[in-house]
Amino acid sequence: MKTLLIAEHDNKALSPQTAKALTAAKQLGPVDLLVMGYECAAVAQQAAQLQGVEKVLLVEHSELTHQLAESCAETILAMASGYTAIVAAATTTGKNTLPRVAAKLDVMQISEVIEVLDASTFKRPIYAGNAIQTVTSNDSIKVLTVRTSNFEATPSGSECSVESLTLDVQAGPSAHISDQLSVSERPELSSAKVIISGGRALGSADKFQEVILPVADKLGAAVGASRAAVDSGYAPNDWQVGQTGKIVSPDLYIACGISGAIQHLAGMKDSKVIVAINNDEEAPIFQVADYGLVADLFVALPELEAKL
Ligand code: FAD
């Protein structure tokens, strides 16, 4: 019984998602951590410090620079026979690569695991989080993605060995052209401790700037949005929280002018404290809110900013 956990990184630093996925992976048994990339030895050293990792496997190759699904899947498959489980965080990278691994192994993928009951039995949300499914897999090798917002990060503080492997990684059918990254001084939405989100009620991108951003600046918060706000062009796509956006679980989530549709709740209901500001006291968001303020957000938020 041994698990291979796929490390998430940008060739320079290990993503915090890996330490969270490790907490889930360790519940399956001993864990080796696979770092695939190019000129990423520093990442392997960071990974080796996570408590409970047996060893770090480092595969460096220019074809792995951008961690395209085809090359990564081939690399994982080359070493899969030694493992009873292959685990990755359910991020865009994990969700890109692991289905290919599962298909090539001819096993089912178990996606977005939120709880490990035993080495074969897992809980995962379905129907936008409205029901929790318990899945038992008889596959000889389990392929799992883990919803990291449900697991605390494994701390660093130990040191295991790093084993460099030489693999002949072939170019896949797709190629990396360029990255277009949005640059923000604010905390990253998926890992922010405080998030303030705006919905359709904002009415324009200018109002987001005028009303939401000043409070976000005062709180050092990341900014989120409902899909209605994104689709209306009030907020950029990468701010969307929900079933088809980002899954977040900050210490504090402030929803402003968001009704609380199930697809939005699917992305934020695991937040530790939820505050809702809405002028409709019947809005469903109040059913999940710890603190609810029935108010016009255009009055309440400037007042809040002034008080902060
Ligand atoms: P609305 O539902 O229109 O709510 C606006 C709220 O603002 C209302 O409650 C109103 O009372 C309040 N309001 C109005 N004026 C004020 C004011 N002045 N002050 C205070 N409050 C005010 N949605 C997501 O958010 N994320 C997703 O990932 C997502 N994925 C989806 C996937 C699918 C397949 C589908 C079908 C839908 C998805 N949706 C998603 C859309 C979702 O169903 C809702 O349509 C959307 O969340 C509504 O956004 P909203 O709450 O901003 O707008």
Describe the crossing of helices 92-105 and 69-79 by its angle, rounded to 10 degrees.
50
CA distances from 144 to 39, 81, 83, 243, 301 (A): 27, 16, 13, 19, 41
CA distance 136 to 123: 9
CA distance 21 to 153: 8
CB-ligand 1 contact for 26 (6 Å cutoff): no
Beta-ladder partners of 136: 121
Residue 117 is predicted with a pLDDT of: 98
Question: Among candidates 28, 33, 141, 125, which has minimal Cα distance to 84?
Answer: 141
CB-ligand 1 contact for 19 (6 Å cutoff): no
**Which pLDDT tens digits describe the chain residue by residue (308 residues)?**
899 999 999 999 999 999 999 999 999 999 999 999 999 999 999 999 999 999 999 999 999 999 999 999 999 999 999 999 999 999 999 999 999 999 999 999 999 999 999 999 999 999 877 899 999 999 999 999 999 988 999 999 989 999 999 999 988 899 999 988 777 788 989 889 999 999 999 999 999 999 999 999 999 999 999 999 999 999 999 999 999 999 999 999 999 999 999 999 999 998 999 999 999 999 999 999 999 999 999 999 999 999 99
CB-ligand 1 contact for 37 (6 Å cutoff): no
Ligand 1 atom 18 nearest Cα: 296
CB-ligand 1 contact for 38 (6 Å cutoff): no
State the pairing for strand pair 3-6/85-89.
parallel
User: Do you know the residue count of the chain?
Assistant: 308
Contacting residues for 198 by C-beta, under 8 A, at least 6 apart = 207, 208, 211, 212, 223, 224, 225, 226, 229, 234, 235, 256, 257, 258, 297
| Helices (H) then strands (E): counts for the chain | 10, 15
CB-ligand 1 contact for 267 (6 Å cutoff): yes
Ligand 1 atom 53 nearest Cα: 200
Residue 188 is predicted with a pLDDT of: 87
CA distance 11 to 129: 33
Which SS3 state, helix, strand or coil, does residue 219 take?
Answer: helix
Query: 204, 230, 247, 259: which to mutate for ligand 1, most atoms within 8 A of CB?
Result: 259
CA distances from 301 to 34, 190, 196, 260 (A): 46, 23, 11, 19
Residue 184 is predicted with a pLDDT of: 79
Q: How far is the CA of 221 from the centre of ligand 1 (A)?
A: 21
Residue 242 · residue 216 · CB < 8 Å: no
Residue 7 · residue 47 · CB < 8 Å: yes
CB-ligand 1 contact for 263 (6 Å cutoff): yes
Q: How far is the CA of 150 from the centre of ligand 1 (A)?
A: 24
pTM of the predicted model as reported, rounded to 2 decimal places: 0.80
Which SS3 state, helix, strand or coil, does residue 296 take?
Answer: coil
Contacting residues for 158 by C-beta, under 8 A, at least 6 apart = 49, 50, 51, 52, 53
Contacting residues for 43 by C-beta, under 8 A, at least 6 apart = 7, 9, 11, 12, 13, 14, 35, 37
Residue 172 is predicted with a pLDDT of: 86
Query: 231, 243, 254: which to mutate for ligand 1, most atoms within 8 A of CB?
Result: 243
Question: Among candidates 77, 145, 72, which has minimal Cα distance to 106?
Answer: 77
Q: Which residue carries 């603190």 as its tokens?
A: 291
Q: Which residue carries 């709180």 as its tokens?
A: 219
CB-ligand 1 contact for 298 (6 Å cutoff): yes
Residue 93 is predicted with a pLDDT of: 94
CA distance 228 to 256: 13
Residue 236 is predicted with a pLDDT of: 94
Which atom of ligand 1 is the closest one to the Cα of 244?
28
Task: Dig out the tokens for 58 from the structure.
Answer: 């480092």
CB-ligand 1 contact for 136 (6 Å cutoff): no
Residue type for 236, please?
P
Q: How far is the CA of 260 from the centre of ligand 1 (A)?
A: 6
Residue 162 is predicted with a pLDDT of: 97
Q: How far is the CA of 127 from the centre of ligand 1 (A)?
A: 18
